[in-house]
Structure 1
Amino acid sequence: MPSSDSASLKPMTARGEATRQRILGAAEEAFGKSGFFRASISDITRGAGVAQGTFYLYFQNKEEVLGELVRHMGRELRRMLTHSIPQDLSRLEAEREGIAAFMRFVSQRQNLYRVVQESLFVDEQIYRDYYMDFARGYISALEKSVEKSEIRDGNLEVWVWILMGVGHFLGLRYGLWAENGLGDAELDAVMDFIRNGIARPADRD
């Protein structure tokens, strides 16, 4: 029987951690390709090359694995953006680099991105936490840009959720569904929208 204490399932050795990471990698592929509800623990252990009983040495159930994968996606995405966006860029330049980097990330980790989207139907709190955590850091970045007069002030929280919505659907359209990804022309169109919105020049304040 799996332990009820999640902390007791954490590996104590480097070999144990390597096994745990293999299980997570196999779960990422199984969930991404088959969906959380269709993928079985047997699919995961077969992909990881471990016995089914080994799974329960590290995780209590599929839901726990899903939660760990979503949190991993959040950490990896924030780390990738930190390293992909030079510190000396203006806010708008950083937005462009961030969108381009995010699209590359989604294209390279399609299964993991699908796992995050499916978590909404498994554990809404995990899904919500993923986006709320990202939004907090994003708002902080925009606040700093306002202080430096790189962008105008406004309802930054609402703006952040709008920008995140843009990134999310671009990720679906050009990260998961398009063979060629997001090209320069499409990225130019995204930045034109971020800079200018949809109002005619004569209608802008």
Structure 2
Amino acid sequence: MPAETAAGPTRPLTARGEATLRRLLDAAEAEFGERGFHAASVSSITARAKVSQGTFYIYFPSKEAIFSALVDQIGHALRKHMALAVAEDTDPLLAQRDGLEAFLDFVQRHPGLYRIVQECQFVDEPAFRTYYERLAEGLSRSLQRDVGPGGLTPGDAQVRAWAIMGIGHFLGLRYGLWQKTRPRKAVMDEVMSFIGHGIAAKTSGARR
């Protein structure tokens, strides 16, 4: 039998139960991503997952519950994907580039990402905020860690994290969602020039 948890889906105690939960979440991602929260239904999710509606309710009490759990799961998967992409980077700017490219790769692998996360603002606003806040927390920690000689200049890591996330968000929107492609190298070179140097002209002896 599954085991009850304080938050999130009811966690199964067997490999078979874990596989069923995985199928339900995968089906929910496809269904919500293609049809949106309001058009999707428990019956359409269970049909995709090839399980009964009775089985669904063992793991989730409602459509809203699986939607919120899905947003949490997507956020966790995205953070893990990005962390693995930068794990061996020693150059701070290379790590930022690899992190952005990992995000854009994730967008291509999960075409429903934008629709699901944006709808979450109206279905479960705390989960919506948590999705972004956890991304920002991880990024700000890495930015703060890399401050120092040969690394990054001192500054507000939280502000920088949200700014970089904004860049990634709209790159994903333009290229991953609308054009269904990855930005060319020249595009990423320009992005990293912006992140690394800004857009203000540098003059000799200029004061900040």
Separation in structure 2 between the aligned mates of residue 151 and residue 184 of structure 1, nearest angstrom: 23
d(CA) in 2 for partners of 1:192, 1:9: 46
Distance 1:109 1:73 in 2: 9
Change (3 A) 1:204 1:176: farther
In structure 1, the partner of 2:20 is 19
Post-superposition shift, 1:113? Answer: 4.2
Aligned residues: 201
1:42, CA displacement in angstroms?
1.1
Q: Give the partner amino acid of 2:173.
A: L
Identity, in percent, stands at: 45
Equivalent residue for 1:179?
180
- The separation in 2 between residues aligned to 1:24 and 1:92, in whole angstroms, is 35
Change in 2 beyond 3 A, CA 1:143/1:30: same
Q: Give 1:97-112 correspondences, 5 Å limit.
A: 97-112=98-113
1:49 counterpart residue number: 50
Structure-to-structure mapping, 1:94-133, within 5 angstroms: 94-133=95-134
Larger RCO, structures 1/2 (Cα 8 Å, 6+ apart): 1
| Residues 45 and 52, structure 1, Cα contact 8 Å, conserved in 2 | yes
Q: 1:188 maps to what in 2?
A: 189
TM-score by length of structure 2 reads 0.89
5+ long unaligned stretches in structure 1: none
Please state whether the residue corresponding to 2:171 is helix, strand or coil: helix
After TM superposition, give the deviation of residue 43 of structure 1 in Å: 0.9
The answer (yes or no) to whether the contact 1:28–1:69 under 8 Å persists in 2 is yes
Decide whether the 8 Å contact of 2:108 with 2:181 is kept in 1: no
Distance apart, 1:79 and its partner CA: 1.4
State the shift of 1:180 in Å: 2.7
1:127-146 CA-to-partner distances (Å, cap 9, x unmatched) read 11111111111111111111
Amino acid at match of 1:109: H
Distance apart, 1:72 and its partner CA: 1.1
Q: Distance in 2 between matches of 1:160 and 1:85?
A: 15
| Residue in 1 that maps onto 2:33 | 32
Contact 1:103 1:175 in 2 (8 A): yes
Structure with bigger helix share is 1
Kindly provide the CA deviation profile for residues 137-156 of structure 1, in whole angstroms up to 9, marking residues without a partner as x. Answer: 11111111114540101122
> What is the aligned-residue RMSD (CA, Å)?
1.9
Tell me the alpha carbon deviations over residues 80-138 of structure 1, each in whole angstroms, 9 at most, x when there is no partner: 12221243421111111111111111111112443222211211100111111111111
4+ residue segments displaced more than 4 Å: 5-8
Tell me what 1:135 maps to: 136
Question: Quick check: 1:6–1:60 contact (8 Å CA) kept in 2?
Answer: no
CA shift digits 1:4-49 (9 cap, x unpaired): x765943232212211111111100000000011111111011111
Deviates more, 1:9-18 or 1:47-56: 9-18
1:167 alignment partner in structure 2: 168
In 1, the alpha carbon distance for the partners of 2:138 and 2:149 equals: 17
Can you give the 5+ residue segments of structure 2 that lack an aligned partner in the other structure? none
